[in-house]
Every structure is written in structure tokens, then in C-alpha cells.
Amino acid sequence: MKVLLVGSGGREHAIAKLIRRSLLEPRIFVAMDYRNPGLEKEAEDTGGGWRIVKTTDPQSVAKVAEEVSPDLVVIGPEEPQFHGVSDILREKGFVVFGVSRRCAEVEKSKVFARTLMWKYGIEGRLYFKAFRDLSEARKFIEFAGDVVIKPARQAGGKGVKVLKDTQAYLSKDRQEVKKTYVEKLFSEMEHFVDIDYKILVEQRVEGVEYTSMVITDGDTVLPLPLVQDHPHAFEFDVGPETGGMGSIQGPGWLLPFITREEYLKTLEIVKKVLDVLQLEVRDRYVGAFAGQMMLTGIWGPTVIEFYSRFGDPEISNLVPIVVNDFLEILDRAASRRLAGAKLEIDEESVTIVKAIAPAGYPDNKVLASNHPIAIDEQRIRELGCETLYASIEMRNDGFMYTKGSRVFEIVCVGKDYEDTYKRSELAVNYVRTLDGHPLFYRRDIGSKELLSDRVRVAEKVRIVYRSRAEKGLLGKMLVWVPGEGIFENPLIGFVR
Amino acid sequence: MSSLLTVYAFDELWSLVNIVRYGFQALQHRGSQLYVLCTVKDGVTCYEDDDVDISRHALDHVAIAATYADKNGIKTSVVSRDGVEVAVVTDRAWRKLPDFASELIREVKRCRNVEEAFKSTLQRFVDEKDSIPSIQILTNNREVIAWRTPHGLTPLVLGSYCFDMAIVSSESTAVDILGGDVKKFMGAGEGVYISRYLVKTFATSISKEPSLCMFEPLYIARHDAVVDGVSVYIFRKLLGEKLAEHLDTEVDVVVGVPETAIPYAIGFSHKIGKPFELAFVATGGRRRSMLLSDPFEKIIAVHLKMNPVKSVLEGKKVALIDDSMVTGATMKTVAQILRFRIGVKELHIFIASPQLISTCPFGIVNLDMKTLLAANLSSDLARDYLEADSLHWLSREDVDTVCRKFSLKLCGRCFGVNFLGG
Ligand SMILES: Nc1ncnc2c1ncn2[C@@H]1O[C@H](COP(=O)(O)OP(=O)(O)OP(=O)(O)O)[C@@H](O)[C@H]1O
């Protein structure tokens, strides 16, 4: 079977690894933006090939597809979907595992996604207010309280400002930051001409995060095991937001801090959103879908955002544990024959993914880019771990260079967290830059300490949301303005 | 007594003026005689003042700071060399500090890696008999190191605020008050390197057998603090329960000397099943009388703290609990109030620590041998001086038992022993 994989990063490398073991004997062709050595190797090993194209340009991707004439196209990242790559390929008669432009709106526009949840009263929704114009946002922010400010469009895991504001004595300082940030974000969002709203101010919540991914052909929804990503750049959840510094999974379908009941509730939310989304955009959803969730005291399972693709690095956790034919599943989804399909995983194992990034990531791309880098994959394999190539480019001089984002993802599997953690910590040592530029990764991911901390936090919010559920207060945030009445609005600050 | 505070905002949008001010306030109980603040303007600049308003200089997004209970000795040093500037701030006086700072800057110039330079400089100061204090450094490149003293005598925690800030403090209270979450209790000899694009914790080979200063959970930290993973409040309550085992008579009420002794008194009362009462009301702000060195000032502070609630004590047999007794001056004053102004029937004094009999070799608490009550008076004499019906101290075994519960190892050199929790 000929498969064309669109995309250039770690997620696509994970997909390639997942599908290459298929009994359908795939020849993998890759359409990528730069020479990712990992993807190149998968392509060459399977007797496929690779092309460098602008993956967000539908015409160029279509040209490659016509050349390759694949039996199945798999689209990895969100941006090609936003640009209509899936649509044009389908029009041309290709079988595509990838979400249409209209359906991908659920990731692209956070306003759209949130509005959808409110319109259909789906649980786990947060209060928000969206702004098209700066002066209106400025005015609103004067009185905003404990909120998060976000770009209204998916901007690649950046730009989210969480401003915990529960202490009046520091409120003015946070106010100042909010104001300046709104200005800054507006000017940064200026260049996105494909959106209406520019920024979003939403209710801040606390708890433990997890990702629930599914595969769907529009009718049948096939859940993947839960995975937890780690958005902070540095150890112990310190530092700026990144696209994810690593993730943990297992054992089985749940995570140690999420109950079966919470998992089922999450799936219920995800399925409802898929239903109403298709209804709303009048299009069929074919591809991967994910809820990036947080277990909170307000709701229990709460939606932070949606992905119209597999999570990166979340999909990497699946590489060592999927037992049956992943390609067959993608193919069945793409050709709308998913009913009856089953995903089998190794339910006894856990997986830990650690991303390795050059210093400078995520806020200084220039500093993080163009460093020659080397890896000893063999030694990593000996530890029972796999290497995924992410933001890394093979140049004509025969050396690999960093491209500014996470360079590698090291995926380790084992019987329990303790053992897997130990090996993952050894495996990360086999990566180094050749020019001495510092690299970093998070030692704490997968550690006993962090895991027990998550369990503790989950337990805390669980007590809160269960008690709220009993009182019929799930999701509610009541504010009393004397003389005016009771409102539901958690966005306003201490002083109106 | 003192505390360190680092605030590192990853986003330049933040000004730290108020943040440092409230950080100081959350640490004031550890000393408010001297404030130090270092920040980067054109280069590294350090300010010293006895006023918390020193935080007005924290206009940058990175600051290291400290508060101290006294002004003695060298605790700050700023050095510069060919364009590199470094401020070094320690949590107690260290006579080697100027040497350390100049050695450090030489190393920074040599190896261009602040963390490595710091580690190798430390190496050269290990042999010193006097223990190296906890250290913060700030370079003009806005690189910060916060490092915990090798024995872990004084604590250090790493916290974070959302995606925006790393906060390091001697006590968890500052992280709480700044809206952050405590992320890690730094181990003895463990440090954290913080810069705009890299944060990492590191161990140093000079870590010693850890032993936290006994005064930390006993007296220095706030009740709401968590020290090395141990809730100070619960620790105090448990010591109070232990203390109750020394009661060999009947009492009607249990009272504590405000404010540090309150949890001990609650634990004590809980154990013996007699009511705990609020017996004293303070006038004016909270001042830690033990920190004042002028004896007259100290008595004033005590008097202002101790207006008694007469009705709960009159004619009663009272168990009076305090966390520690240094000179006994506070206790004497309180005893006089209870005896003469109120007229309690019996007065049994319980001290939630062993007897303080020696000075602190590390200068964490400044004690003067000749004023230490327990070192100079026999137990009976002390009891009579205080006009108490009985006087009890915790034993070493009592403290050991509680330490063991929390796997805490405490330095008790000033009590003449070390407490093992292992
Ligand atoms: N309402 C909220 N309350 C608290 N934290 C939030 C909230 N929204 C987002 N966050 C935090 O910010 C992170 C990023 O948010 P979000 O996923 O919306 O942004 P993104 O830039 O699209 O990220 P990515 O695509 O990498 O997941 C979340 O993982 C979460 O930690």
C-alpha cells in the first residue's frame, strides 16, 4: 500500500513508525517542509520517498499526491488542514485521513470551539469573551479578574498568558501586565488574515491536564488511551509555555490520576462536540480529534482546547504500545469504514516521552536554531527506547541542525513508571550539540514525585467538583453585584 | 535569622516593585532589620536599607533580595571585571564572601558558564571550618543561581507562578503570598540556575549530611510554612502533644505565649483534653520579641503583645506553653502578668524545646552564652525565678520521636545535641 504522509515533525515521525509495521506493507512517501532525517529514513526503509514542499500549500501537496498516487494520504499537522489541503486532495479523489478545512475550524478558532460548546450546552465549557478590536479589549481588560488571555487562533502552542489573579494586593501589577499583553498580542495577531476575532479572554481554571485523542470517520469514534503532556518549558512546571516537553501514558487507557468515570465523561464531551461540529459546519469529520482537557474543581473534565489532529508529543506515546494494525485503522477511518474497528494496546505497559530542545526554545527561535546536533540512536535503542526526529533538518553538508523547536522526542516503554523513567533518563544523554549550545529536557517527567503530585492535585479538585455536582453547581460561577443581582461571570475582577 | 528571595519573570512585561515588596512582607518574621535588593539596570546594582520600601528599585523583571534580623557582618558583595558583573548575597554573615565573589567572577570569565563557575568556586571554599551559607547570585546577563547551604541548615524552596515566574525563597510563605505554587524543596547543597532560556536544578558534591536548624520548625518559620515538606503547624502541634506527657498534675486551662507557641498549646490541650484558651491580645503590629537585641525594646514588645484576657484565667490552674526559652525575659514578664495582674491559682510552664545551653556555631540565631537561662540557672532556680509551680522542657527523645515521624534531621548544636529523624 502506498501512503503519503504530509508533515515534517515529531508527530509525523510517530505516525510513520506506527504505520510502517502494518501487514499492508506500506511504502511511505513523505511531503515535508524540510529534510527531517527521521522521516527520510522511514520513507527510504519502506521503499517510499520524500519531497520537500510547502505543506500548507494545497496545490503543491496535490502535485506531490498526483506524482505519488498513494492509496492513502495521512495529514499530520493542523496548518495544512486549516489551508484546505485535505479538501483539495479529496476533490481529486484521494482517500484522505485528515480533517477538512471547515471541520478543522474547531482547532483553528478557539472562539468557534467555545461558542459551539455554549450553543449546545456541552459540559466542561469555560466562560470567555472574544475581541475583534483592540479598544474594546482594552476597555474589558480594565475590569478583568482571574483570567487567561489567548490568541483567538491556534498559534502553535504559544501566546497563552495565564494570569492567576486571586490576590487583590497584587491585582494592579497583574492588571498592568494584562493591559500591555493585550496590546502586544493584538499586534502579533495582526498578520493572521484568516480570522475574525483576534484575542480571547477566558476563565482561568486549575487542576491536572490530560489529552483524550480519538480517531473518527464521522460516525464511529475510536478512542485512544489518555496521555498527559507537560506544557512548561522547565522542570517542576516552571517557566514559559511550550508545545509540550514530554508526555506520559498508562498503564492501560487511563492515567494514574484520572478515574474511569472521568475518562468516560471526557469521551462523552469529545463525542458530543464531534456531533454538533459536523452538524454546524455541514461536513464530515474524518481524521484525528483530541480534547486537551483539565480536571478542574469547576466541572471535573474541562475543555482547554481541541486539536483537529493527533497531539504532539501525545501521539508518540502510542508508538511502542499499539498492538494491532494502526494503518488499517487510519485507512478504514479515511474510507469511512471505521465501524467495528478496534484499537488494541499493550495494557500492561507505561510510556514516557521526553522532548529535547535547544536553549532559546520556545521564546527565541533564532537562538535555538542552526546548531549542529548528533544522536546515538543505537544506544537509545539498547535502552528499549525509540527516537523521533522533530524540529531537525538534514543539510547538504551531511550534518543535522536544530530548527528552533524541540529536536528529538525519546519514547521509552516499560512495565512501570519507575523502570521506564530510569531508562528514559539514561536515553536523553545520547543527544548533544556539536557546537556546545546547551540543550534542555525535563528530568521530572515520568518521575515518582511529579506523578504523586498530580495524584494529589487531582484528588483535591475531585473533592471540589463532586461536591459542586451534588449541589447542581457544576460549571457555575456566581457573582453577586449588590443592587443588580446574581450573575454568572467569572471574568470580572475585584473591583468593577 | 534571615531569608533569601529571588523573583525571575520570564516575560519582560513585569515590574517587580510590588511583588518584591509583598515577598518581603511574607518573610518579615525572619528579619526586618535590613533589606537587600539586587537588580540589573545598566549593570548589577545592589541596594541596602532598613526600610521595605527598598523594593521600589525592583523595576526590572529579575531581582534577588534578602531580609535580615541584624546588620552584622558581610552578606552582600558586588564585583565586576571586564564587563562581567556579579552580585553575591548570602543568608548569613560570611567573612569569606569577598574572596568568594572575586574568585567566582574569575571563574565566570574563564569558563563562561555561570553554573560551572559557581560549582568550581564552591569547591575551593569547602575546606572552611565555618559552613558556607545559602547563596544567591545575579549577573549582569540576568543569570541567577540560588543555592542551599551544604548542611541544609536553612531551607530553600523553588516555586513558580503560571508560565511567567520562577520564585525562590527561604520559606514557602513567600511563594504562597506571591500567588505561586511551591514546586520543590531544595536539598542540602542543591542549587537552581535560572536564566531567560534555561532553568535547571543541580546538586553539588559538597552536600553534607543534612541537618536543618532546629529553630526553623520550632520558631523561625511561620505556622503556614512548609519546611522540607513538613508542615510547620503540624510539627508544632505534635511537639505540643509530646510536651503534654510531662504534665504530672491537674490543670484547668492551656494557654500559649503568642504567637509562635499557639500550635504547641493547641496540641498540648488536645492531648490532655483540657480547653485551650486565647489568653493574650496584642496591641500594634506583630513584632518578634526574640529578634530584638535591646533588652528594653524587648520588654516593650512583650508588654505590648500581652494584654491578658482576665476572665479565662482568673483563679485557674494554668498550663502556659512557649516554644523556647532563651533568656527567660519574656517568660518572666508573662509569669508576672499571670501571677499579679490576674491571680492564677497555679502556673505550670512548659517549654516546647530542650534547654538551650550553647551558642549557635553558624550564627543563624545570635545567642549570648551568659544570657542563656538554661545554661546559667539550675532547673529549680529557674522555676523559682519565674515563680512557677513547675517548669518542664522537652527531652531530646521527645524531639527525636517527632522528627522521626517526618524523617527530619535537625541540627541542635545550641541544645547540645543533634536530633535524628532518620
Ligand atoms: N482557561 C485556562 N485556565 C488555566 N490554564 C489554561 C487555560 N487555558 C490554557 N491554559 C494553560 O495554557 C496551556 C496552553 O493553552 P492552549 O492549549 O489553549 O494553547 P495553545 O497555544 O493552543 O497550546 P497547544 O496547542 O500547544 O496545546 C494549557 O496547556 C494550560 O496549561
- Going from the Cα of A228 to the center of ligand 1, the distance in angstroms, rounded, reads 13
Q: Which three cell numbers stand for residue B121?
A: 568556586
pLDDT at A156: 66
Nearest-Cα residue of chain A relative to residue B186: A236
Q: Looking at the complex, report in whole angstroms how far the Cα of residue A364 sits from the nearest Cα belonging to chain B.
A: 8
In a mutational test of the B interface, the residue from A238, A437, A443 whose CB has the highest number of chain B CBs within 10 Å is A238
**Domain-by-domain residue ranges, chain B?**
2-209, 215-421
Which has more pLDDT, B36 or B408? Answer: B36
Q: Is the dihedral of CA B61, A199, A103, A82 positive or negative?
A: negative
Peptide bond into A313 cis (omega under 30): yes
Q: Which three cell numbers stand for residue A476?
A: 457555575
Q: Which three cell numbers stand for residue B416?
A: 547540645
Report the Cα–Cα distance between both ends of chain A, in Å, rounded.
63
Per cent of chain B over pLDDT 70 is 95
Q: Is the dihedral of CA A172, A173, A175, A180 positive or negative?
A: positive
| Nearest-angstrom CA–CA distance, B240 and B322 | 10
Which has more pLDDT, A480 or B268? Answer: B268
Of A194, A125, A122, A124, residue with least CA distance to A154: A194
User: Within 13 Å and on the Cβ side, how many CA atoms surround B19?
Assistant: 33
Q: Which atom from ligand 1 is nearest to the alpha carbon of A151?
A: 21
pLDDT of B284 over the 90 cut: no
| Nearest-angstrom CA–CA distance, B409 and B422 | 7
pLDDT at B128: 60
pLDDT at A333: 98
A293 in ligand 1 pocket by Cβ < 6 Å? no
pLDDT at A115: 96
| Nearest-angstrom CA–CA distance, B9 and B63 | 9
Of B266, B218, B263, B271, residue with least CA distance to B244: B271
B27 close to A (CB below 8 A): no
pLDDT of B422 over the 50 cut: no
Q: Which atom from ligand 1 is nearest to the alpha carbon of A203?
A: 1
Q: Which three cell numbers stand for residue B422?
A: 532518620
Stated as kind and residue range, the H or E segment containing B80 is strand B76-81
Q: Which three cell numbers stand for residue B22?
A: 509583598
Q: Which amino acid is at B138?
A: L
B184 close to A (CB below 8 A): yes
> pLDDT tens-digit profile of B122-152?
999 986 666 899 999 999 999 999 999 998 9
B125 close to A (CB below 8 A): no
Nearest-Cα residue of chain B relative to residue A231: B163
A149 in ligand 1 pocket by Cβ < 6 Å? no
Cα A133 to Cα A108, A153, A187, A193, distances in angstroms: 19, 15, 11, 14
pLDDT interval class at B34 (50, 70, 90): very high
Q: Closest residue (by CA) to atom 3 of ligand 1? A: A204
CA A102 vs. chain centroid, Å, equals 19
Greatest CA separation found in chain B?
Answer: 74
CB contact under 8 A, A164 and B197: no
Query: Is the ipTM here above 0.85?
Result: yes
| Nearest-angstrom CA–CA distance, B283 and B262 | 17
pLDDT at B77: 97
Rounded to 5°, angle at Cα B334 from B331 and B338: 135
Q: Which atom from ligand 1 is nearest to the alpha carbon of A110?
A: 18
**A331 in Cβ contact with A72 (< 8 Å):** yes
**Beta-strand relationship, A385-389 and A221-223:** unpaired
**A410 in Cβ contact with A428 (< 8 Å):** yes
pLDDT at A190: 84
Which has more pLDDT, B72 or A430? Answer: A430
For chain A, which domains are there? 2-98 (3.40.50.20), 109-204+475-487 (3.30.1490.20)
Greatest CA separation found in chain A?
Answer: 74
| Nearest-angstrom CA–CA distance, A32 and A29 | 10
Closest CB to B160 among A165, A238, A440: A238
> pLDDT tens-digit profile of B147-201?
999 989 999 999 999 999 999 999 999 999 999 999 999 999 999 999 999 999 9
pLDDT under 70 in chain A at which residues? Answer: 156-157, 494-496
Nearest-Cα residue of chain B relative to residue A158: B163
Per cent of chain B over pLDDT 90 is 73
pLDDT at B368: 81
Determine the CATH number of domain B2-209: 3.60.20.10
pLDDT at B365: 81
Q: Looking at the complex, report in whole angstroms how far the Cα of residue A359 sits from the nearest Cα belonging to chain B.
A: 6
Q: Which three cell numbers stand for residue A50?
A: 520524500
- Give this prediction's pTM: 0.95
Residue recorded with cell 506527657: B245
| Nearest-angstrom CA–CA distance, A388 and A428 | 12
CB contact under 8 A, B15 and A170: no
Q: In sequence order, which residues have a C-beta less than 8 Å from that of residue B295 and are 6 or more positions away?
A: B329
Helix or strand or coil: residue A202? strand
Nearest-Cα residue of chain B relative to residue A167: B179
| Nearest-angstrom CA–CA distance, A315 and A310 | 6
Helix or strand or coil: residue A374? strand
Q: What residues in B contact A232, CB-CB < 8 Å?
A: 160, 163
Q: Which residues pair with B346 in a beta bridge?
A: B317
Mean pLDDT within B207-228: 90
Pick the CATH number of B215-421 from 3.40.50.720, 3.40.50.2020, 3.30.1050.10, 3.40.50.300: 3.40.50.2020
pLDDT at B286: 60
Q: In sequence order, which residues have a C-beta less than 8 Å from that of residue A13 and are 6 or more positions away?
A: A36, A38, A39, A42, A388, A389, A390, A409
Q: What is the DSSP letter of B349?
A: E
pLDDT at A43: 98
